[in-house]
Structures are given as structure tokens and as C-alpha cells.
A and B are shown apart, each in its own frame.
Chain A
Amino acid sequence: MEVLNIATAGSVDDGKSTLIGRLLFDTNSITDDKLEAIMAASKKKGLGYVDLSLLTDGLIAEREQGITIDVAHIYFSTPQRKFIIADTPGHFEYTRNMVTGASNANVSLILIDARKGVVEQTFRHFYISCLLRIPQVMICINKMDLVGYSQQHFEDIKSQFLAFAEKVKFEGQQIEFVPISSLLGENIVEKSSSMPWYKGSALLQMLEKITLHESLSEEVSRFPVQYVIRPKSEAFHDYRAYAGKVVSGVFRKGEKVVVLPGRQETTISKIEKFGREMEAAQASESVNIILEDDVDLSRGDMIVPVHQLPQQTRQMNATICWMSHEPMASGGIFLLQHGVNVSRARVTGIHNLIDVISLESEPVVNQLKLNEIADVTLKTAKEIFYDSYAENRANAAFILIDEHTNSTVAVGLLR
């Protein structure tokens, strides 16, 4: 069974929590006790209907303010698929959470309030979806019931959105539009009779049918060493395996490989999973790789096929999103974590601070503030083995860690 990861985003009050509540409710994913609890809470608030947004607005502060403030993970399944929703807030100051929620997504689901049309936040969400190269974007135009189910209204919003999207989208990215009413459950699980002009499918059917075409196994093969397994027991006296996750591509038994940074050539003698030998390991599988020769290899090093070498350098260009309240100054020193490889790094320059609404950029800046996105140049103490984000997103992402607070302060994508 496949897992589809969905990132949801929207502005305050556009009905995102209600939409998620509706997906859970209509797929029978809400149990009686949870439903009873939110029915009682709706009554307490003096509402005449069951407020499905109460299902996801989990934290005390959120219930007090009636807003969503952090990334929440929600699970439901149909006979076709298991769905994981990373629900991210629509507040400007929480953009960093949106990036967090979207980083593992196959699909980005963006809500637009039909009465308000496209707002700044819509552009921001779409920009981030493109930055993170999310292959599929679903635009749900919500509250259609409040605009008389007007097709003209729907089409106007669609063209307004596309005018912006054309400038930002990347090749191969799919964008779909669905007119919905999450409060009334229209075009969510079942098609609505109120909008006969809409010829597409209901949202859930579209989510069930999306092909996970960004097939990681078709990319170049990358295996970062996560941990070295040496039992030193009598039964496994000389056993030495490199444990890790295939980040992208496929590795096969008998394949000729190179280990980085040393660039020694060797051959994969065995691939194992819990003692079971395998012919091949696909992307995202956690396995043990055993090499034919004794090579010098430890955590953070990488095994790659002989003819598919990644970039191997200490100087690189990246686009980053700054996620800390303390601004970042040019020249700052951080820990750069690329996958499981960690190195000290200096930000040697900040360029092209991007205004994600107007798409204009400032060529030279001295500092980067919370939620700002810009290009940077970096110099690392150790070599990093990476691919450009456009080619293989799985081996291009990194985070920056503040050495004093230990916080994750930025996410970046190498170019």
C-alpha cells in the first residue's frame, strides 16, 4: 500500500481545518468519542452545526484564539491509499512551519476563499510549493456556496492564480483546480449537484488517483552512510556493514561503486535487511550494504555508482529560507547538515532577497530575517556530496543549525 503525503495550506478563516475535518468525517475516519467531544465543544461555543475544524485545532492556544499555529499531522485511509496530511498554518509569521510541513509532500493543497479570491498568502504558499519542487498542486476554491456556486467566479479566480503561477512553476509541475464547499461537503468526497458545470472529479478521488510520478528510484543512486554496524560477536566476528537509507536511485548486489570522499572503487558484495539478502535496494529503503574491499568509510560519507558522481565540493550556491527570529548576517558560521553529513559552514554572501509576492529581488543584502528567502553562497569545512535541486531534490536539501542555541535556523536547497 502506498502512502501519499499532502501539505495543506491556506489563510486564516478560509476553512482549511473544516476541509480536513470533512475529509476525515466523510471517510469514516472519526471515531464516535472524538465526534461526541467536538459536538459538545461546538454546542459550548453556541454553534448550530458541528464545527469540524475542532478536530484538528489541537493546542490550547489555538482553541483560545481559533487559529492553527503549528504543523499538525493527520492520518486517514481509503481502500486505495494511506494519506498523511501535514497541516500548516496560514499566518505570515509561521511561514517556517509551512516549509516544514511541505518538505515531505507529494501534493500541495492550497485553499482559496471564493469570496476573497487570491490573496498574498496564496502566492506565498504556491511559491514555497515550487521552491520545494512539489510535483502536484491542488487549488481548492472553497466556500462556493457563499458565491452562489458561480462558474464565472471560479474561472476568474483560476485565471488570476494562473497569471502568477506561470511565472513561478517548474517544468512538469501539475496544477489542478476544484470548486468546493467544505462546510457542506461538496466536491470533497462526492461530486456536488450544485455545480454541474464542473466536469472534474471530487477532491478525494483526485488524491486517490495521483500518480507518484516523482519516482525516486529513477534518479541517480545515492547512499549516505548513516551508521557502521560491527557486532564483534563470535557468530559475526568480521562482519562490517554500512547502514543507511537509499536516498535516491537503486543499488544492486555486484554493482561497482565509489566511496566518497576517498574515491576508492569497490564492489557491493551484499545488500541485507535484517539478515535477509537482497538483490537490490530501492530509494527510501533502509538497508545494510557490505563492500568487497576494506575501505575507509564512516558516517556522512557516501556510496555512489562509478559513473554517477555527485558534486563534491566545499563551495556551493543555495537558496535558503531563514527560520529564526534572530536575523542572519552575512559571514555567519553555522553547522550545515546535508542528509546525515554535518560540517561547519560559513555563509559567504547573501544575494537576491526574493519578494515572493511581486517576484522582485534585491541583489545585495547584509542580513536575512525570519521567513525571508534568498540565494546564498556557502563555504564548508568538509566536502559535501550533493546534486542540484532541480535534478535530484532528495540529495540537495540541507539545514543550518545555530551552534550556540542548537536550533534549526534555516533550510536550504543546493543549486
Chain B
Amino acid sequence: MVENSSLFPRELEDEAIYIFREVAAQFEKPVLLFSGGKDSITLVRLAIKAFYPAKIPFPLLHIDTGHNFDETIRFRDELVEKFDLELIVRYVQDSIDQKKAVEETGKYASRNVLQTVTLLDAIEEFKFDACIGGARRDEEKARAKERIFSVRNDFGQWDAKKQRPELFDMLNGRISLGENVRVFPISNWTELDVWNYIKEDELAIPSIYYAHERDTFVRDGQILPYSSFVNVTDNEVVEKRQVRFRTVGDMTCTAAVESSANQIDHIIQEILLATVSERGARIDDKRSEAAMEKRKQSGYF
């Protein structure tokens, strides 16, 4: 056993609550980007705490690729019901039908990149000026350099060289018409911090984070969930495996790990021992070393 000494540092929660309150105070139309994954579930929890006993003063937005794990959607609807949240859903399928986005083809076809089109349309439709996301700086090198308030131009793009300096705890959310700010309240959390928080605050998470049996196949050394959305080639064999997911995204590009962890302490143990980083389970990042930075430049989360 590896000792899990890193009990959750509470100052990270205080910081995130401070950031949520800054968003509510500085922006007209904020929105919380909700994917159904553990990071956005953590964000919802923090938002509830930040404004309690008042309601969260902004809606949730889910960009639905259509390639969902059923468990995630069920979980999302229960969460919205339980905490009386306002949920907006926009569909990648609609963007494809309106010819704004083109479905990828071939073995690696995924709708992950197409989400950007639907997101930017939703921002324009609702005139959102702040989009709160669950990105963490420990996930990836480009994210390590992003600010907590990250300004996007009127094309939704991120310019790494023109970032505003962020000093002490002062957040400058001033923008011109058409621009928006991506806000990352859990920037300074690591994957382990998120899990320790979920444990200590006893947060419910979708069942696919725990070990379960599922049809899977192996591609490029990674275990992928089998579904009607993926194109399995002739030499890829679909088999039942005992797996769990470390991240929850589009079904076509979220890899599983073999695991028997069926409770949170076991998951935390696995993470402490894990030798593959969390985003290593996201195939979209592997496309190239600079994949994330390029996607951010084009308006991705």
C-alpha cells in the first residue's frame, strides 16, 4: 500500500469558491460547462457551496456529442433534478445537420474536435461572457500555462503570448463586446486532489468511474469501450473486460484501464500507483505533441 498522505488541502476549495464569486460579481452571463465528468461534478459542488443558501446564479451547459456513456447522461439528469439546477444542452449532431461541422471518417473518427463548433455557437446564441470549465493545469503542458481567467477573442481563440498577467489573487475579467473569458476555478488541483475531494465531501459520481464489466477492444495499446459509434477493424477483437474510466468524454476517444477498484479508496490507491497519466487515456491528445495547444488556439475548452 502507498500511503495516501495527501488529504485534500482545504485552501484549494477556498480559492475555487473565491473564483466562483468573482465570476458572479464580474460577469453578466456566466455559464458552467458541464461534461458529466468528475471535474465538472466537482465544479458544481463548489458552485453550490459558493452561493449557498442562494441558488447557483448561472446555468449549466452540456455540449452533447451524441457519443455518450448512458450512465453519464442519467447521472447528469439526476444531479440537475436533485440540486434544482438549470441545464442547457446543445448537440454536435445539430451542428453537423446544419453543415457547420463535418463528421470525421475512418478508424479514428471522433466528435471531440467538433464540440468546439457547437460550443462557440452556444456562446453566441446565449451571449455568454464567462464559461467556467474544469480544466486543471496538471493535465497537460499547454494548460499549465493558462490563466485562471483566460480571455478568448471574438473567434473564441486563445493567444498564449497575449495573456494578461494574473497577480496575487486579483482577477481582471474586463472584456470587449464579443469576447469571452474561460474560467478555471480548479486550475491548481491535481487529479489526486479531485479524488480526495470527492471522497471527503462524499460526492456521487457516474458509475463508469468504478470497475465494471464492458465490451472493449484494444487499439494502439489502449483499451477502448466498444459502442456503435466506433469503427472497429477486422483485426480488433471485441472482448469483455473488467475496467473503469479515469476520465469521461466522448465514447470514441476515452480509454479505459483494467481495474477491480469498486470503491473510492481503491481508486485513490490506483492513482497513487498509476504510471500512466490521466490524459494519456485521451486519444485526441496523442495525435501530436502540440495537439492541445493547437486545439486551444482554435477555441477548444
Contacts and interface: CB of A to CB of B under 8 A. Distances in A.
A232 B53 CA distance: 10
B167 A411 contact: yes
A369 B8 CA distance: 43
28 contacts: A1-B9, A31-B275, A31-B276, A33-B276, A33-B280, A34-B277, A41-B289, A56-B141, A58-B145, A59-B293, A61-B160, A73-B137, A73-B187, A74-B144, A75-B137, A97-B165, A226-B22, A226-B25, A227-B21, A231-B55, A233-B53, A243-B50, A273-B49, A275-B52, A286-B15, A337-B172, A339-B170, A340-B22
A406 B293 CA distance: 24
B277 A3 contact: no
A407 interface: yes
A72 B53 contact: no
A99 B167 contact: yes
Contacts of B161: 61, 69-70
B170 A32 contact: no
Interface stretch (A76-84, A171-179, A190-198, A249-257): A76-84
A377 interface: no
Contacts of B176: 406
A275 B53 contact: yes
B109 interface: no
B207 interface: no
Given A73-B137, A406-B172, A408-B164, A82 B145 contact: no
Chain B contact-residue range equals: 35 or more
B165 A398 contact: no
A364 to B, nearest CB: 27
Contacts of A96: 165
A99 B167 CA distance: 8
B124 interface: no
Contacts of A80: 5
Contacts of A359: none
Contacts of B192: 77
A1 B5 contact: yes
Contacts of B21: 226-227, 243-244, 286
B103 interface: no
Interface string A32-74: 1110010001000000000000011011110100000111111
Contacts of B138: 74-75
B274 interface: yes
A100 B18 CA distance: 19
B190 A75 contact: yes
Q: Which of B15, B160, B294 is most buried by chain A, counting CB atoms within 10 A of its CB?
A: B160
B24 interface: yes
A407 B149 CA distance: 12
Contact of B18 (A34, A41, A77, A245): A245
B141 A58 contact: yes
A299 interface: yes
Interface string A383-400: 000000000000001110
Given A103-B168, A104-B168, A284-B15, 18 more contacts: A1-B5, A3-B12, A31-B276, A32-B275, A33-B276, A58-B142, A59-B145, A77-B6, A77-B190, A226-B18, A229-B51, A231-B54, A244-B21, A273-B49, A275-B53, A399-B167, A399-B170, A411-B165
